[in-house]
Structure 1
């Protein structure tokens, strides 16, 4: 483990991480951290309850967005917390604070964004295969034929490249993402001007702006080798 880490080393615990990934809090329980196990389980249950409530009130799309924005990051975070070495003086929320410092210093938040890109690449590919007649709107038009196929293929291709680069904290992936975000913003703005207000279009623009702002804020994380960020 890197010198100066907020959590002193005893041993990493892959089994605890796996168990917490299956049932939040279980990994903490087998590591004899009952307070953290209970806290983790309650927080997870509360987040899932919020997701269910949002889905009931506003629809499945909003619930999925909430799951990806908060529930999945928390799920990964608590599993990683169970994996990390444990210092006896750290307990409860203080322990989570130390783990958050590790996540931040090792750019695991950026890696999580990379995992989301890989996930969306898979879902994009599935949509294309399952709906061959689906046409992507590009600057107020829907290209057909070869150009239409290329327009659809660019999404899973770029998502895969960006996702891989973010997972590896490569600087080229930051530049590729910024180019992709600029194109997405211009395209969505043009479609907004042509077709007017749309909830999906509006959410996409706002999400893209927030996502890009966060990536720019964390731009110093790229390249891991250059800035000396440890992997785990």
Structure 2
């Protein structure tokens, strides 16, 4: 059993990743690249968190019936009740729905505040943002949202990781760089596709042997 890995990029990237055991991902704003892939009960439906549309999200979830989707980020604790109601609707169409806590007022209170029906999602810190809620607060299976693959793997030592999505390596591949299992660096031979393949293989390697928590096994139905 392995942590589920998703990538949301182009048809080409998803095709290559799928050959290495990954699953398709897509934002609800762009379903074009997943038309040729099995997505129902397998895919990851991401959101446009900077300009979120609940109506478009629900419509896309109903259309694709993903394995996992993400509810609107909880940037203010006072919006939590509304977000949970939205997540309850999404749960009608997605097997799993993850809540993304970002307000530090939620520190140490996730078990109390978020119903057990929902997974949690941790927004991996990058220059574009991330969560400030303490790692110790994440008390149940977690989806790791974005960030560097090495950072994701380090976080997994402190969390019960169910799944990850990772697109960072697709950006570096455009410039001839790849993830070597430790860091991003120039590929010795180069080529976009070669960079993609080697990055994916090395990401798989760093997750090999990761101890899946019993709570995650139960969520996976194993």
TM over 0.5: no
Larger relative strand fraction = 2
- Structure number having the greater helix percentage: 1
- Normalising by structure 1, we get a TM-score of 0.27
Greater Rg over alpha carbons, structure: 1
TM-score, scaled to structure 2: 0.28
